[in-house]
Structure 1
Amino acid sequence: MNMSSSDSKVFEYESFLNERLREDLRLILEQRDKLYGELTEYFQLRATIQKIKEDVKPESLLKTKVDLGCNFYVQANIPDPSTICVAIGYGFFLDMTFDEALAFIQRKTEVLQDKIDCQTRDAGRVKAHIRLVLEGLRELQQIQAQPRSSHKDFLS
Structure 2
Amino acid sequence: MVPAAESSADAVNRKVLEYEHFINEVLRRDLQKVMEQRDDVYEKISQYLQLKNTIQSLQESGLQQLKVDVDLGCNFFVQAEVQDSSRILVSVGFGFFVEMTHDEALRFIEKKTSQLTAFTEQLTKDSAKIKANIRLILECLRELQGLEDLPEQKTRDVC
Does TM, scored on the shorter chain, surpass 0.5? yes
Give me the CA root mean square deviation: 1.8
Which one of 34, 37, 40 corresponds to residue 31 of structure 1? 37
**Corresponding residue of 2:100:** 96
Q: Which runs of 5+ in 2 are unaligned?
A: 1-6, 148-159
Residue 121 of structure 1 pairs with residue 91 of structure 2:
no
Deviation at 1:47, TM superposition (A): 0.7
Alignment of 1:75 with 2:94, yes or no, is no
Secondary structure (helix, strand or coil) at the match of 1:17 reads helix
With 68-77 and 78-87 compared, the bigger mean Cα shift is at 68-77
Q: Which residue of 2 aligns with 1:50?
A: 56
1:66 corresponds, among 38, 52, 70, to 70
After TM superposition, give the deviation of residue 13 of structure 1 in Å.
0.8
CA distance in 1, matches of 2:78, 2:127: 43
1 CA distance for matches of 2:54 and 2:65?
16
**What percentage of aligned pairs have identical amino acids?**
49
Moved more, 21-30 or 63-72: 63-72
CA distance in 1, matches of 2:67, 2:133: 54
The structural deviation recorded for 1:71 is: 2.1
Indicate the SS of the match to 2:73: coil
1:11 aligns with 2:17: yes
Q: Distance in 2 between matches of 1:123 and 1:108?
A: 22
Q: Which residue of 1 aligns with 2:111?
A: 107
Contact 1:49–1:98 (CA under 8 A) maintained in structure 2: yes
Shift of 1:37: 0.7
Instruction: Give the counterpart letter for 1:29 in structure 2.
Output: M
Query: Quick one: which amino acid aligns to residue 130 of structure 2?
Result: V
In structure 1, stretches of 5+ residues that fail to align are: 144-156
1:32-88 C-alpha deviation (Å, 9 max, x unpaired) = 01101111111111111111111133xx42222211122222111111111111111
Deviates more, 1:8-17 or 1:108-117: 8-17
Q: What per-residue deviation string (whole Å, max 9, x for no partner) do you get for residues 19-43 of structure 1?
A: 1111110111011011011111111
Normalising to structure 2: TM-score of the pair?
0.84
How many equivalent residue pairs?
Answer: 142
TM-score, normalising length: structure 1: 0.85
